[in-house]
Amino acid sequence: MSSGAASRRRLRVVCGRSRSSPRPFGGWITPWLYLAPALVVLGGLLAYPVYQLGLISLFHFTQAQVSGGEPTTFKGFGNYAELFADDQFWQVLLATLLFAAACVVSTLAVGCALAVLLTRVRAVPRLALMLAGLGAWATPAVTGSTVWLFLFDADFGPVNRVLGLGDHAWTYGRYSAFFLVLLEVVWCSFPFVMVTVYAGIRAVPAEVLEAAALDGASQWRIWRSVLAPMLRPILVVVTIQSVIWDFKIFTQIYVMTGGGGIAGQNLVLNVYAYQKAFASSQYSLGAAIGVVMLLILLSVTLVYLRLLRRQGEEL
């Protein structure tokens, strides 16, 4: 037998053994040992509250049951049936989806544009922009909402004076109130996108960007054809984070619209759940809304990740 044939035979034997032989015990358990502390913490902080939320949504749970005056009654999916039969729920759900989508798109657009700008300016303007963005990001939601309410106040706000709008009340109209809240949400959310995307851009080799510029590509073409594909993992993270944050927004809507606006015209699901649970003492309905929100967020996240994975396989 020639040496080449013998080598190929040994290679087949080795490859066959590697495919058929099971992984050693420590090979699959070691990663889980490293993840165990984090899984224990997440189990206590996330799994148990979600379990309690789902449990309450299956019972008749009002202020009487909270006070221990009456026993709880198992309703099964009766709370969900009652919730889905309410026209207001579907109106609030649609408003929440549209508002969250507008916030996510606006936040990503502003954050990515400023991240690119950071790579174009000198050190001093870059530092000033970074500090301003981090200051907005670090501002508590209640404080930021109160400041924006003052800026757009009908009597004392400087925005109406600069724009010549007189005593226009931004929070009285449904769309103007949503627009005002959107501005505040983008203001306090874009720094996360800006800093994360800027760090990703700095990690891209300069030779790649220079080659694209020498080929005559515009800044928009460089972003769309060069930077965006290379930054896809980072963009996935910031998009999912923005979807989660903006879909479950509560503080800005509650503070800036006075609990959901006039006659509930600015309600979103989180504020709607709060009103059902604490204002109306219908804790089971509030828990059912929370479960629906959780399922929607999980579905959107899984679908988005699947689409991105499919696009990555096609490239």
Mean pLDDT for the stretch of residues 62-70: 78
- Is 14's pLDDT higher than 90? no
Superfamily designation of domain 93-314: MetI-like (1.10.3720.10)
- What pLDDT is attached to residue 26? 57
Q: What would the pLDDT profile of 237-273 be if each residue is shown by its tens digit?
A: 899 889 989 999 999 999 999 999 998 899 999 999 9
Q: Are 184 and 148 in contact (CB under 8 A)?
A: yes
Mean pLDDT for the stretch of residues 213-224: 82
SS3 label, residue 248: coil
| Cα–Cα distance measured from residue 92 to residue 190, given in angstroms and rounded to the nearest whole number | 25
Mean pLDDT for the stretch of residues 201-215: 84
- Is 314's pLDDT higher than 80? no
With cut-offs at 50, 70 and 90, classify the pLDDT of residue 295.
very high
With cut-offs at 50, 70 and 90, classify the pLDDT of residue 15.
very low
Q: Which of 184, 166, 28 is nearest to 102 (CA)?
A: 184
Q: Which two tokens stand for residue 226?
A: 């060069």
Average pLDDT value over all residues in the chain: 85
E strands of the chain, at which residues? 59-60, 73-74
Q: Which two tokens stand for residue 7?
A: 């080598």
| Cα–Cα distance measured from residue 171 to residue 150, given in angstroms and rounded to the nearest whole number | 12
Q: How much helix, strand and coil, in percent to the nearest 5, is found in the chain?
A: 80, 0, 20
**pTM of the predicted protein model:** 0.82
Distances (CA, A) of 103 to 8, 185, 213: 60, 7, 32
- Is 3's pLDDT higher than 60? no
Contacts of residue 208, defined as CB under 8 A and 6 or more positions apart, other chains included, come to: 226, 230
What angle separates helix 141-151 from helix 174-203, to the nearest 10 degrees?
A: 120
Please report how many Cα atoms fall inside a 13 Å half-sphere around the Cα of residue 64, on the Cβ side. 7
- What pLDDT is attached to residue 30? 84
Percent of the chain past pLDDT 90, that is, above it, reads 48
With cut-offs at 50, 70 and 90, classify the pLDDT of residue 280.
confident
Contacts of residue 189, defined as CB under 8 A and 6 or more positions apart, other chains included, come to: 103, 107, 111, 137, 242, 245, 246
Q: Are 147 and 184 in contact (CB under 8 A)?
A: no
With cut-offs at 50, 70 and 90, classify the pLDDT of residue 191.
very high
Task: Please calculate the CA angle 97-103-105 and round it to the nearest 5 degrees.
Answer: 100
Write the DSSP symbol of residue 70: S
User: What b/e sequence results for 58-83 when a residue is b if at least 16 CB atoms lie within 10 Å of its CB, and e otherwise?
Assistant: bbbbbeebeeeeeebeebeebbbeeb
Q: Which of 245, 250, 252 is nearest to 297 (CA)?
A: 245
By mean pLDDT, which of 14-18, 240-244, 290-294 is the weakest? Answer: 14-18
Write the DSSP symbol of residue 24: P
| Neighbour tally for 55: CB within 10 Å | 13
- Is 79's pLDDT higher than 90? yes
